[in-house]
Chains A and B, each alone.
Chain A
Amino acid sequence: MNARIERNGVVSNALAQIGACALFGLTLLGAVPGSFRHFRETLRQVWFVGAMSLTIIMTCGLFVGMVLALQLYDVLSIFGGTSATGTVVAIAIYRELGPVVTALLFAGRAGTSITAEIGLMRATDQIDAMEMMAVDPLAYVAAPRFLAGIVAVPLLTVMFCTMGVLGGHLVGVSWLGIDNGTFWSNMTATVDVWKDIVHGVIVKSFVFGIVVTLIAVFQGYTTPPTSEGVAYATTRTVVASSIAILALDFVLTAFLV
């Protein structure tokens, strides 16, 4: 009996979180026009969550592409199809790995810092102070970060994909000796701009950008105002983002394919 109540508690907690997050998202959307007055702040946030994440995103993209090429070459050589390595690397990265891994990395690199920053503002009463000064904290603190995330994630995803393909080229052509022309011509023959780039890279990364940043801002904004609460909120950002990304990835793929 107890266990059942507890389980219900977990489920209703999760539902309550999702509902609160969605409602917060709507409120946040209402605050977005107000944040246009704080354009500089938005720009600074794009710099912080986007440009500063470039190093990790590009490095990871490179290695993901390299390891993909290595593994695929190994498997495809069984069938004598190593010339398809470039194609498969590109499609795997564009459709799945690029958007998903970028969003996961973004949640870890930028989402946590957004949560911690807003959470500390909440814990140290800065947000209350803004309200006292008639500055809308949603428009000044939350919305610029939200917008920055939405701008940054698709761009980071594209950078990730580019580096991934170049990494695949590096291993496939320079190291394993696939012909350079074969590598590119097979890729261009199969990869489709609509199905792979638009559906894969752009739509997915846009949705992931919205979701990850919304979760990060929401967790920070509603954190209990204690140091423990901030720590907990930061953890929850990563957990909730990861689950949301992977679940949404499945849903999006099911719709887009």
Chain B
Amino acid sequence: MTQRRSYAVGTGLFIVLGFAALVYLATQTTSVANTGQGASYTVDAQFANVGQLKPRAPVKVAGVRIGQVKSIELTPGHEEATVKLAIDEKYKGIPDDSVATIFTSGLLGDQYVGLSFGSSKKSLDEGGHIALTKPAQQLEDMLGRFFGGGSAPDRIGGTYHVTGHFTNIGSLTPGATVKLAGVPIGSVGKVMLTNDKLDAVVTLDIDKRYDQIPDDSAAAVFTSGLIGSQYVAIQPGGSPDMLKDGDQVVLTQSALQLEDLIGKFLVNGSPSDNKNNAGNGQQSPSNPQQSNPPAPGKK
């Protein structure tokens, strides 16, 4: 009889444990964990473009979640999406001239609605309307504005070679483009490591046509696009003397680790890392802060 009883107790324990685990999974590891909110009031806003915004996406003020997107509808006959935002009752007092913007959390993250406060004395109420909105930024547009693509020019006129020392060239490879003012003027010849200083020596093969580059110009390793290839950008200086064959570019700017950069701007902010900056005029390969390991992602 006692043995039977222990079966019953054990089985009961097993079943209870199983259901407890189910409740845990369903409520703690899924989006249900985010929806547990009390009373809320609804305001709406018109956006020209909602991008990938989805219902139940968070609504944030100063990065803090204050509610969620209730619904996204397209008004028939209008080229604008009406987004209804359910905001927690405890966050009353949002000025009615606040600006609603659709942001992306991180690079590949989901989109959310960010509210930045206006200065109006009146605050939003149930059924209120946010008049000022900014549509979702299309990352492609943004990047297209900053970086231009381009291929290496042919070397009909012959090239001359200058070298530059970089503490970190990222994934720059021989054959990459050298650009000045966004225009391809040459290509990367060789990439080597110096034995004594442990920095990278990059040989730049620059077209002979472009021989009017001041010798205090700076060379920087940039990335074209987000996951594009890297190239060397020359930023002209003001010296009257020009770069000649065999010269060395003294001012260099190492490759920025895109992850760190984005982490700094888009996510919660990553630990500070001082990048070598062409503007500070220092080429200091011994600075330990610059030798970031290529392993990304530790935020």
A residues contacting B by CB (< 8 A) are 40, 43-44, 46-47, 50-51, 54, 76-77, 79-84, 90, 94, 151-152, 154-156, 158-159, 161-162, 165, 177, 179, 182, 184, 187-193, 196-197, 201-202
Contact = CB atoms under 8 A, between A and B. Distances in A.
Given A82-B296, A179-B299, A191-B30, 11 more contacts: A54-B14, A77-B297, A79-B108, A80-B107, A83-B106, A154-B18, A155-B15, A155-B18, A188-B30, A197-B26, A201-B22
Given A161-B25, A177-B298, A189-B110, A196 B30 contact: yes
A44 B5 CA distance: 10
A84 B33 CA distance: 17
Contacts of B21: 155, 158-159, 161-162
Contacts of A152: 14
Contact of A83 (B10, B17, B25, B297): B297
Interface string B267-282: 0000000000000000
B195 interface: no
B142 interface: no
Given A154-B18, A155-B18, A161-B25, A191 B31 contact: yes
Contact of B17 (A47, A84, A159, A177): A159
Nearest to B8: A43
Nearest to B65: A185
B4 A40 contact: yes
Contacts of B14: 46-47, 50-51, 54, 152, 155
B297 A43 contact: no
Contacts of B31: 188-193
A154 B28 CA distance: 19
Contacts of B298: 82, 177
A172 to B, nearest CB: 11
B30 A192 contact: yes
State which size class the interface on B falls in: 35 or more
B257 to A, nearest CB: 9
B11 interface: yes
Given A47-B11, A50-B14, A159-B17, A191 B297 contact: no
Contacts of B32: 188, 193
Interface of B: 4, 7-8, 10-11, 13-15, 17-19, 21-22, 24-26, 28-34, 106-108, 110, 258-259, 262, 295-299
A80 B296 contact: yes
B19 A155 contact: yes
B25 A43 contact: no
Contacts of B18: 154-156, 158-159
Classify the secondary structure of A's interface with B.
helix
A94 B107 CA distance: 26
A197 B25 contact: yes
A238 B258 CA distance: 50
Contacts of A184: 28-29
A8 to B, nearest CB: 45
B10 A51 contact: yes
Contacts of A201: 22, 25
Contacts of A202: 22
Contact of A165 (B22, B25, B108): B25
B299 A83 contact: yes
B15 A187 contact: no
B22 A158 contact: yes
A187 B26 CA distance: 12
A231 to B, nearest CB: 29
A120 B12 CA distance: 29
Contacts of A197: 22, 25-26, 30
A76 B13 contact: no
A156 B74 CA distance: 45
A80 B258 contact: yes
Nearest to A78: B296
Nearest to A154: B18
Contacts of B30: 187-188, 191-193, 196-197
A156 B14 CA distance: 9
Nearest to B32: A193
A77 B15 contact: no
Given A81-B108, A190-B31, A47 B297 contact: no
Nearest to A159: B21
Nearest to A179: B299
